Every structure is written in structure tokens, then in C-alpha cells.
């Protein structure tokens, strides 16, 4: 019999709807898989099998009457521990909130539940998501299921590990500076940062900027679309709402096939030093795109000027979270204290310089995407570092190439080849604001071509 946990989310959902599987059978298989993997991987902060089993029983009773909750009926889903979950501990990776249990769901979490998701637990994140290493003082360090000595990056490292270890069918993440995409690349799964506003973020400590957004994560593009269709859509409380019609799953198999265009490819974007074996892993995408009928040129969007402002972006988010949540700073870890310190004492002139740069880069990016449909580059500049490194010890310039958030551009990372250490490499694809549907179709066409 096929291992249930090895099925795609789409396959699982179809079997649940056909009543070839029950929600309780699916949950039991994932519980067994989690119990076998979690001791090594440490991807979850909190698990609640009792509540999950009760929800699965409710869904099976519904199915027995010929009714189904929605497209995610019976699918086990992990929620990142920076999003509120009603009745389920939410710590933000902070000792200040080690015992915090919300009495409400974040907006997209409520949508996932309503669509039939069975929430099994909270995936690990660095404190307040502000680190490239998924580790905190509440639950420790998450390790890569493909090699436990190696990191899952951050900040949605727990989510990526959950998927890579088949401990859930789907997982959500958040993305400020690559937090869905880099962990996805290093764990061999798919992570997306949608156009800001496509998925409502609520409650949001910074509702008037779109730097940090919720994003779906999955093991393939079709599964990711299955989840995104549920998460997306305007909400009245969100000032930066952005709605668009996403492709249906069937649309993803239409050769985009029919609408080819121009893609920019850079194996060393923004002047970053990319590890040669990572470049070698991603380089074949040029030939693949040409075989699909696309024109490919060596180029990249002009995001490099933003790299000098990374500390301001990160620090600003840290201080906004501190104001909104009021954590006890005496309990804070090194990574979060450092992020706050990066913003404290910044003068108005520095903030204006950042915003001026952001405006100039935005104009240049708009011009860039008049010439190209998509831009492609390696998701991470290097191979996974040790899971035992502390955040302050990470010196590799590996995060810079995911710096699309200030432009609020949709971006996705899909697995593409392996680097010299045998670990997965990721192909990063970015499009203009609002191009999520075409981006997903393009990513799926590449995924399909890789699979042959």
C-alpha cells in the first residue's frame, strides 16, 4: 500500500473526496510519520493530536453524509508559530509568549480551517521570524530532514522541514526577506512570496506596509496553488488588499506555454558571490526555457541598491513587533536583540534615504519588467551551513538574493538540481507586481519539464 504521507496534497484531497481515505486515516499516517521524524528534525514547537483527531472525526462524519468542508478537507496542515491559532499555543519563538494561547485565528488560518484543513501543530521559527537560522530559546533548533547536520535557514524553516519530512501535507510560512523561499530551496520543496496583499495578513503589526506577508509552502507547485486558492482574497481590515484571479489547477497544465515571452537569467545576481556548484545546478534552466520557446537574456532586476538598507528594513520590523507585542526584552534572544539594536538610534535622514532609494529602484524595476516577463536566479548563494551555527556566526552572503520584498513582488522558489554537497538547490523566479497567476503557470511549466 502506498505511504499516505508520500502522496501529494492534491492526490490526498482526491482520495478523501472519493472516500478512498478517511480524514482519520490520513491524520494517523502523519502522526506516525511525525513521531518517527520529529525527534531528529525538531520542526514543531507545539503539536495537538487530540484536537486534530477531533477535527478529523468531524470531517469524516461530514463526508459520511456526502458533504465536504472544502478543497482542503482532511489535509493535515502545519501553521508557522508566528500566526495566531485559536486554542493552540502561539509563541513567536519568544520566551515572553511561551505559554500564550490565542482565542482567535489569524485571517488566513481561519480560511484554512474553513476549507477543511486539519491543523496538527505550529512549525518552528526564529524569535519573531527575524533570523536566517530557525532556532529560538523556546524550542531549540530545527534540523534539515535531508541531512540533520545542516540548517533549514529561516525563518520558515520549521515549515520547510515539516514538508520535506512528510509530516504534513501543506504548511504556511511568512516572508520578509526570503523566509519562505530560502528554507524551501534548502529542503527541496516549494515556497512562495505572493504579491503583497494577495493573502490577508491579520492581525498585522504593520498594516500599511507590505514587506512581510503570509505565503503558502508545499512539495510541488500544484499543491501550492491548492493552498493559495484558499488563503488569498481581500479582507475589509486590510488596507493593502490586492485581488486577482488565480489559475485553477487544470490551468497549470496548459502549456504557458502558449504564451511564451522573455526571461532574464542571472547566476550571480546583484553582484553576489554564488557558490559555483549552485550556479552549475541552476544553469540548465536557460536551455530548458529555450526549449519551451522562451527567449532568455543575461540580466537581473536592479535591486542591488536596496542591499545597503537591509539592517533598516529588518530593524524597523523588529521595533514594530516590539511596540505591538511588548515582549520582555530581558527574555529576548541574541538575534532579536540585535535586530532591535539595528534600528535604534537611526535618524530620520537614514529612513528618508532608504525610502528615496526604494522609490528609485521601484521605477527601475517597473522599466525592467517592461522588457521581461520573469527574472530567474539561484534562490540562495550558497549551500546549507551547519545547523549548530548561531545567527551571529553566519557570515555567508546567502540571503541577499531574495531581497524582493521592498518592491512587493511575487516570487517563488522551486527545487532545481543539487549542489556539491548533494543538497537541493532552488530556482528563484520573480515577476512584476500582480503577476502571481502567470508566475505560477511558468513555475509549473518548468517543474513539469524537469519531471519529464
Helices (H), 310-347: 310-325, 334-343
- The b/e string for 405-432 (b: 16+ C-beta within 10 A; e otherwise) is bbbbbbbbbbbbbbbeeebbbbbbbbbb
Phi, psi for 205 (deg, rounded to 5): -65, -15
* Three-state SS at 380: coil
Pairing of strands 213-218, 190-193: antiparallel
- What is the phi-psi region of residue 396: left when phi exceeds 0, alpha when psi lies from -120 to 50, beta otherwise? beta
Q: How far apart are CA 452 and CA 445, in angstroms?
A: 11
155 in active site = yes
* Cβ 216 vs Cβ 198: under 8 Å: no
* Three-state SS at 127: helix
Radius of gyration of the chain measured on its C-alpha atoms: 21
Dig out the grid coordinates for 425 from the structure.
Answer: 538547490
* Cβ 181 vs Cβ 191: under 8 Å: yes
Choosing from 94, 135, 174, 179, the catalytic residue is 179
Q: How far apart are CA 154 and CA 377, in angstroms?
A: 19
Which DSSP letter does residue 144 get? B
Q: How far apart are CA 293 and CA 446, in angstroms?
A: 12
Choosing from 155, 156, 196, 435, the catalytic residue is 155
Choosing from 15, 31, 80, 150, the catalytic residue is 80
Q: How far apart are CA 9 and CA 215, in angstroms?
A: 16
Q: Cα dihedral angle (214, 218, 222, 228), rounded to 10 degrees?
A: -20
* Cβ 193 vs Cβ 404: under 8 Å: yes
277 in active site = no
80 in active site = yes
The residues annotated as belonging to the active site are 80, 155, 179
Amino acid at each position: 500500500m502506498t505511504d499516505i504521507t508520500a502522496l501529494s496534497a492534491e492526490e490526498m484531497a482526491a482520495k478523501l473526496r472519493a472516500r478512498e481515505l478517511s480524514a482519520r486515516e490520513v491524520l494517523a499516517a502523519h502522526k506516525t510519520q511525525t513521531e518517527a521524524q520529529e525527534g531528529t528534525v525538531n520542526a514543531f514547537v507545539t503539536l495537538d493530536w487530540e484536537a486534530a483527531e477531533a477535527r478529523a472525526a468531524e470531517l469524516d462524519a461530514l463526508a459520511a453524509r456526502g458533504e465536504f468542508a472544502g478543497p482542503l478537507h482532511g489535509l493535515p496542515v502545519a501553521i508557522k508559530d508566528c500566526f495566531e491559532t485559536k486554542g493552540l499555543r502561539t509563541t513567536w519563538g519568544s520566551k515572553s509568549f511561551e505559554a500564550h494561547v490565542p482565542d482567535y485565528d489569524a485571517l488566513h488560518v481561519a480560511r484554512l480551517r474553513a476549507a477543511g484543513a486539519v491543523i496538527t501543530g505550529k512549525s518552528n521559527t526564529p524569535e519573531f521570524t527575524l533570523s536566517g537560522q530557525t532556532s529560538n530559546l523556546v524550542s531549540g533548533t530545527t534540523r534539515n530532514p535531508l541531512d540533520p547536520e545542516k540548517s533549514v535557514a529561516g525563518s520558515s524553516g520549521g515549515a520547510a522541514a515539516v514538508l520535506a519530512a512528510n509530516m504534513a501535507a501543506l504548511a504556511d510560512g511568512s516572508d520578509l526577506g526570503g523566509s519562505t523561499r530560502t528554507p524551501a530551496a534548502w529542503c527541496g520543496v516549494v515556497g512562495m512570496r505572493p504579491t503583497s496583499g494577495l493573502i490577508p495578513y491579520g492581525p498585522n503589526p504593520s498594516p500599511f506596509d507590505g514587506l512581510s506577508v503570509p505565503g503558502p509552502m508545499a512539495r510541488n507547485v500544484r499543491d501550492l496553488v491548492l493552498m493559495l486558492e484558499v488563503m488569498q482574497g481581500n479582507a475589509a481590515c486590510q488596507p493593502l488588499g490586492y485581488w486577482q484571479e488565480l489559475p485553477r489547477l487544470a490551468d497549470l497544465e496548459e502549456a504557458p506555454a502558449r504564451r511564451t515571452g522573455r526571461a532574464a537569467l542571472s547566476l550571480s545576481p546583484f553582484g553576489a558571490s554564488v557558490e559555483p556548484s549552485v550556479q552549475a545546478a541552476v544553469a540548465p534552466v536557460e536551455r530548458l526555457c529555450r526549449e519551451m520557446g522562451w527567449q532568455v537574456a543575461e540580466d537581473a532586476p536592479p535591486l542591488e541598491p536596496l542591499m545597503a538598507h537591509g539592517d533598516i528594513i529588518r530593524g524597523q520590523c523588529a521595533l514594530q513587533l516590539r511596540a505591538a507585542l511588548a515582549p520582555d526584552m530581558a527574555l529576548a534572544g541574541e538575534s532579536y536583540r540585535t535586530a532591535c539594536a539595528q534600528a535604534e538610534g537611526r535618524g530620520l535622514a537614514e529612513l528618508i534615504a532608504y525610502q528615496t532609494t526604494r522609490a528609485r529602484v521601484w521605477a527601475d524595476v517597473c522599466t525592467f519588467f517592461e522588457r521581461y516577463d520573469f527574472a530567474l536566479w539561484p534562490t540562495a548563494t550558497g549551500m546549507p551551513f551547519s545547523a549548530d551555527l548561531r545567527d551571529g556566526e553566519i557570515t555567508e552572503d546567502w540571503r541577499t538574493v531574495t531581497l524582493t520584498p521592498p518592491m512587493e513582488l511575487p516570487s517563488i522558489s522551486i527545487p532545481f538540481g543539487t549542489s556539491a554537497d548533494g543538497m537541493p538547490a532552488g530556482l528563484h523566479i520573480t515577476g512584476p507586481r500582480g503577476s502571481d497567476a502567470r508566475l505560477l503557470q511558468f513555475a509549473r511549466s518548468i517543474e513539469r519539464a524537469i519531471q519529464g
